[in-house]
Copies of this chain bind each other. A is one copy, B any other.
């Protein structure tokens, strides 16, 4: 589809045509018609050559061993060819052609095709999960794309009017990506049990928590699908852990500092399961972004920290718990049969109000995925839409 190769399978548009390109100290300067200009490093360009010597044309995997490229390589000349490619001759004798749109996106964005930015929410900014018609999302990629976008931004999504058949949650999950199995059942049933081995399987209230903080590899996504709900009470409670973290970062930096550095261990309480992991309640990513929230009061282990930090650690934990109970941070809504709620289990803490066992039946089915699959599905839809729209333009 691209006449000019790129080191991937992707379609790249060109937001602005190239005005001209020049060499400065061995680097390539590209000036665009819209007035922007970008400088490209010669080693970087050489590394990304997409010719058949440097890149396997089928698998799009690199063949070039970059250890063989001189670190002091320079661009000797730059020109544009008839197809619009930016053509560069290097001091190692190699010649490469670059797609202008591919160049533009890699220079202009900090991370091409990055995850969407989180939008933190509170009770006042988001009173219920972003909601879409389930059957439409399943049949129309444009609706699914909108739904997955909302999910990635808010960490929560509700599809309504889904079938109320058992197993629906698994077929939906598989439309996104592989299921994440855990020590629970692949598809687990949330109902009230007489011999519950966890409060989850009673009719008691459940305070906000993430599932499986006991794993280093805590599943990134949880989906709960309501088959039946005729009980009084049992409303879902959702809390944006990133919103609480942002609030504390801005307003109570000493508390925030403790939450991002003091490690708490969580362990599975079931006899003869040995899952156990330790990490800060708020884990930060390499770019200073919020990466994970890890807290479940009922599987929290004894604090093990330098004695000088015990007071501050409990103070920070209690402050976080207080904000979780603060109505400003709590989204509370009922589950209707056919509702499927998908949430980021490493960001959004979930809980429920108690319900009256004698007032009716309540049956949810749940499953886990990883965040990667929801992002991947969104990107695939975007690429397919882009390919379609380019084909349509070309067909005219």
A299→B61 contact, CB < 8 A = yes
Cα distance, A267 to B383, chains bound together (Å): 14
**Min CB gap A104→B, angstroms:** 12
Q: A265-B111, A276-B113, A302-B47 are in contact. Are A318 and B197 (CB under 8 A)?
A: no
Q: A220-B217, A286-B261 are in contact. Are A300 and B41 (CB under 8 A)?
A: no
**Min CB gap A331→B, angstroms:** 21
A85 partner residues in chain B, CB cutoff 8 A? none
A384→B267 contact, CB < 8 A = no
**Min CB gap A184→B, angstroms:** 9
Interface residue? A158 (CB, 8 A): no
A59 partner residues in chain B, CB cutoff 8 A? 196-199, 269, 298
Q: A269-B9, A314-B66 are in contact. Are A110 and B61 (CB under 8 A)?
A: no
The count of chain A contact residues (Cβ–Cβ below 8 Å) is 90
Tell which of B197, B216, B317 touches A370, judged by Cβ atoms closer than 8 Å: B216
Interface residue? A287 (CB, 8 A): yes
Interface residue? A32 (CB, 8 A): no
A199→B56 contact, CB < 8 A = yes
Beta-carbon contacts under 8 Å, A184-225 to B: 196-199, 214-217, 220
**Min CB gap A90→B, angstroms:** 15
Tell which of B43, B180, B376, B384 touches A275, judged by Cβ atoms closer than 8 Å: B376
Count identical subunits in the complex: 2
Interface residue? A13 (CB, 8 A): no
**Min CB gap A390→B, angstroms:** 15
Cα distance, A13 to B88, chains bound together (Å): 70
Interface residue? A278 (CB, 8 A): yes
**Min CB gap A348→B, angstroms:** 16
A376 partner residues in chain B, CB cutoff 8 A? 183, 268, 273-276
B41→A372 contact, CB < 8 A = no
A380→B106 contact, CB < 8 A = no
Which of A60, A109, A280, A287 has the most chain B CB atoms inside 10 A of its CB? A60
B307→A39 contact, CB < 8 A = yes
A111→B217 contact, CB < 8 A = no
A58 partner residues in chain B, CB cutoff 8 A? 196-197
**Min CB gap A195→B, angstroms:** 8
Cα distance, A199 to B300, chains bound together (Å): 44
A311 partner residues in chain B, CB cutoff 8 A? 41, 43, 71
**Min CB gap A18→B, angstroms:** 18
B217→A371 contact, CB < 8 A = yes
In this complex, what residue of B is CB-closest to A273?
Answer: B376
A-B contact pairs, 23 of them (CB 8 A): A7-B302, A41-B307, A43-B310, A43-B314, A59-B197, A62-B297, A66-B317, A66-B318, A67-B318, A67-B322, A71-B314, A110-B304, A111-B278, A112-B301, A180-B180, A215-B370, A216-B220, A217-B371, A272-B384, A273-B376, A274-B375, A275-B375, A275-B376
